[in-house]
A and B are shown apart, each in its own frame.
Chain A
Amino acid sequence: MPANDERSGFRRWLDRRTGLDSLLDHALDEPIPGGAKIAYVFGSGLLFLFLSQIVTGVFLAMYYVPSADHAHTTVAYITKEVTGGSFLRSIHAYGSSAIIIVLLLHLTQTFVYGSYKGHRELVWLAGCVLLALMLGMAFTGYLLPWDQKAYFATTVGTNILSEVPWVGNALKKLLRGGTEMGTLTLSRFFVLHVFLIPAFIFAFVAMHVYSFRKAGAAGPVTEDPVSPKLPTKPFYPKQLVMDMGFAMLIIVALGVLAYAWPAELGPKADPSDTQFLPRPEWYYIPVFQYLKYWHGSTAVLGILVIPGILGLLLVGLPFFDRSLERRPWKRPISVGLFTIILLSLGVLGFASHREDMRNPGLAAQLRTQHEETVQFMKAKFEPELSGGSLVAQNAALANPEAAKGKAIFEREGCNACHGDNGIGTSAGPKLIGIGSKYDAPKLETLLRTPTEKMTSGGMQPLEIKEDEMKLLIEYLQSLK
């Protein structure tokens, strides 16, 4: 302890018990060969984004319920009713995209600068695991709102597992908690998303940062990765200010996006929907497109062997590439391969978009799905009827006109598909709450001339007298 210690009594007291000052000094005095650079901000940007995801995630969990019955209602409640709920959920949802983008930048920077070279294998390996864990977070988080796109995208996503030879179906069942997607799938994804994967991320972030500090910052591309020659400058203040600036940029960008274009929520998952076209989140689109090209006997090659080789190439990079040459123009093969893979992902993404737009049927269905989402977002929040409530049919029968309408509902066989009391079956959607979705004239139009989507689902045009139509609509409107 120097004699001219100017620290306050409390700082000294705390430091003696925690070693906080020396820890802080150690963190802030990290020597960077060649000094601070904008190119080095991505790692801490990722850490910042991860923290933001934790904070927003914890708050979202205050209202969210991971059950197939309530998940969608609670997310709708967060989005439509809770103060700042839509904003917070949007920050969390867009945060996942931001993580993928900054991960790609971090990976590219590390690759191009050859910063994985020279005793940095563990830094790289922990980074690869973190990449996989983050992709896992994105995949598991996508299901949680339990809306149409979440449900169907995850159905497709988990189906891919069954292509794994021998154990594929067992793996799929294990992940889904059964043969089909259901409330157990949601519970499993919730546990993975909220408990398991984050715990592993903490552990691997610690490993990544520790092994990075042990090896030291690699510095510019001309620097020797093992014994740096350039004079070093400490992390503080210049690099810290750059890192903080980048974090600010991220949070401002997320805030503006979340405020101006809030994340959407579609209608609740309807497993009986046979029309729905699942599309994953943008960062999985290239993989989604790639998987389309492989089916039948070659599927194993495309789904397992090729990604396996690519994964192995990525993970094993610091072991294959032992040269200490870091300048990218002197490493044409690895840099070329990396560029080709990145470009291919871009091309695949573009091809997927083009295929969707070129096929009029697909384009129309995707438009319809988008419209349904917009409609759902506009609709007022409808609270869920709790178990102890009066059942809908009793309330309906208090109104004598609705009671007559119910008789027509049954005579015309509506209940065959839409279920007794309009509760819905696998053959037809539920009608409870339909009155708040459409007004009487619109209901009459839909009943007399169903839309194309309705007829393709088996809906028949209803030809009954005007007064009977009135009673039937009265009944439909009483279904709440």
Chain B
Amino acid sequence: MSENMRRQSVSGPQTDSPNRRSFLAGLLAAGSAAVGALLAVPLVRFTLHPVLARTTEKSWSDVGSIDEFQKLETPVKKLVTIEQRDGWRKTVTEKPVYVTKDSKGELIILSAVCTHLGCTVPWAEKEKKFICPCHLGVFAPDGKLLGGPPPRNMDRLETKIEDGVLKTQYQFFRQLTRNKEELA
């Protein structure tokens, strides 16, 4: 039926069956769907922002001037400030770490969190060992496990030296596992 003939008749629900509409209707529906899908793109990207954006990027915290640690004899406790982002807020907290030396005499940084159940491990000056007060896990000055229930050595943190400042990337690790596993 031509468009003109159709215009002549006053259309009502009875005369206008769905199949007569079908071609143009399909075209309009497809067009609307395409435009709708296009419009939905920014909405989807907006929603997925926290999922896709790398907001939890690890950041480096200052531990102290490198000169401070050159003549290090025994591990020293330092507080590093870490900034955690949570969407539009940030939390600034301090976490204890130990600056010490490995067997080759290189500066390393250990997390003070016990690998057993997460207590903060103090340095026992008299014994020259780290002794965890909770379950008596014992670690050497370089963090090596000497005895007690902990499953592994104390956790080493990434370090770097920039402009004479020792920096570390503070991280949390899973407790009670033999291998060091990062927690996001």
**In the assembly, what is the distance between CA of A70 and CA of B45, in Å?**
23
A32 to chain B, nearest CB (A): 11
Cβ–Cβ contact A25 & B16, under 8 A:
yes
Given A82-B49, A383-B85, A395-B92, A234 contacting B43 (CB threshold 8 A): no
Which residues of A have CB within 8 Å of B43?
55, 59, 84, 88
Contact with B along A8-33 (1 / 0, CB 8 A): 00010000000001100110110100
Q: Which of A141-149, A235-243, A372-380 contacts B (4 or more CB under 8 A)?
A: A235-243
Cβ–Cβ contact B16 & A83, under 8 A:
no
Which residues of A have CB within 8 Å of B94?
390
Of B53, B85, B87, B94, the most chain A CB neighbours within 10 A belong to B87
Given A85-B46, A395-B81, A31 contacting B10 (CB threshold 8 A): yes
Given A233-B7, A236-B21, A251-B39, A83 contacting B45 (CB threshold 8 A): yes
**In the assembly, what is the distance between CA of A231 and CA of B8, in Å?**
9
User: How many residues of chain B get a CB closer than 8 Å to chain A's CBs?
Assistant: 36
Cβ–Cβ contact A83 & B52, under 8 A:
yes
How would you classify the secondary structure of chain A's contact residues: helix, strand, loop or mixed?
Answer: mixed
B154-180, CB < 8 A from A: none
Contact with B along A215-248 (1 / 0, CB 8 A): 0000000000000000111101100110010001
B114 to chain A, nearest CB (A): 23
**Nearest chain B residue, comparing its CB with the CB of A258:** B42
**In the assembly, what is the distance between CA of A386 and CA of B39, in Å?**
35
Which residues of A have CB within 8 Å of B89?
73, 383-386
**In the assembly, what is the distance between CA of A81 and CA of B12, in Å?**
53
Contact of B103 with A by CB under 8 A: no
Contact of A62 with B by CB under 8 A: yes
Which of B32, B52, B90 lies in contact with A244, CB distance below 8 A? B32
Cβ–Cβ contact B13 & A26, under 8 A:
yes
Which residues of A have CB within 8 Å of B28?
237, 240-241, 244
**Nearest chain B residue, comparing its CB with the CB of A70:** B88
Contact of B91 with A by CB under 8 A: yes
Contact of A63 with B by CB under 8 A: yes
Cβ–Cβ contact B90 & A29, under 8 A:
no
Contact of B47 with A by CB under 8 A: yes
Contact of A389 with B by CB under 8 A: yes
Which of A11, A62, A83, A385 lies in contact with B53, CB distance below 8 A? A83
Contact with A along B41-62 (1 / 0, CB 8 A): 0110111110011000000000
A352 to chain B, nearest CB (A): 35
Which residues of B have CB within 8 Å of A31?
10-11
Cβ–Cβ contact A386 & B91, under 8 A:
yes
Given A83-B48, A88-B43, A234-B11, A389 contacting B16 (CB threshold 8 A): no
User: How many residues of chain A get a CB closer than 8 Å to chain B's CBs?
Assistant: 47
Given A77-B87, A231-B10, A232-B10, A84 contacting B42 (CB threshold 8 A): yes
Cβ–Cβ contact B46 & A389, under 8 A:
no
Of B13, B21, B94, the most chain A CB neighbours within 10 A belong to B13
Contact with B along A62-91 (1 / 0, CB 8 A): 110000001001101100011111011000
B87-124, CB < 8 A from A: 87-94
Cβ–Cβ contact B93 & A87, under 8 A:
no
B87 to chain A, nearest CB (A): 7
Which of A244, A251, A381, A389 lies in contact with B92, CB distance below 8 A? A389
A6 to chain B, nearest CB (A): 5
Which residues of B have CB within 8 Å of A81?
49, 53, 88
B1 to chain A, nearest CB (A): 14
**In the assembly, what is the distance between CA of A395 and CA of B92, in Å?**
10
Cβ–Cβ contact B81 & A388, under 8 A:
no
Contact of B70 with A by CB under 8 A: no
Contact with A along B1-41 (1 / 0, CB 8 A): 00000010011110011110100100010011001000100
Contact of B127 with A by CB under 8 A: no
Contact of A465 with B by CB under 8 A: no
A297 to chain B, nearest CB (A): 49
Contact of A2 with B by CB under 8 A: yes
Which residues of B have CB within 8 Å of A411?
none
**Nearest chain B residue, comparing its CB with the CB of A73:** B88
A344 to chain B, nearest CB (A): 38
**Nearest chain A residue, comparing its CB with the CB of B19:** A6
Which residues of A have CB within 8 Å of B92?
385, 389-390, 395
**In the assembly, what is the distance between CA of A385 and CA of B28, in Å?**
50
Contact of B182 with A by CB under 8 A: no
Cβ–Cβ contact B90 & A389, under 8 A:
yes
A194-223, CB < 8 A from B: none
A-B pairs with beta carbons under 8 Å apart, 7 shown = A7-B18, A55-B43, A81-B53, A248-B35, A251-B39, A385-B90, A395-B92
B: which residues have CB within 8 A of A? 7, 10-13, 16-19, 21, 24, 28, 31-32, 35, 39, 42-43, 45-49, 52-53, 81, 85-94
Q: Which 5 A-B pairs have the closest CB atoms?
A: A77-B88, A383-B90, A84-B42, A389-B92, A25-B13
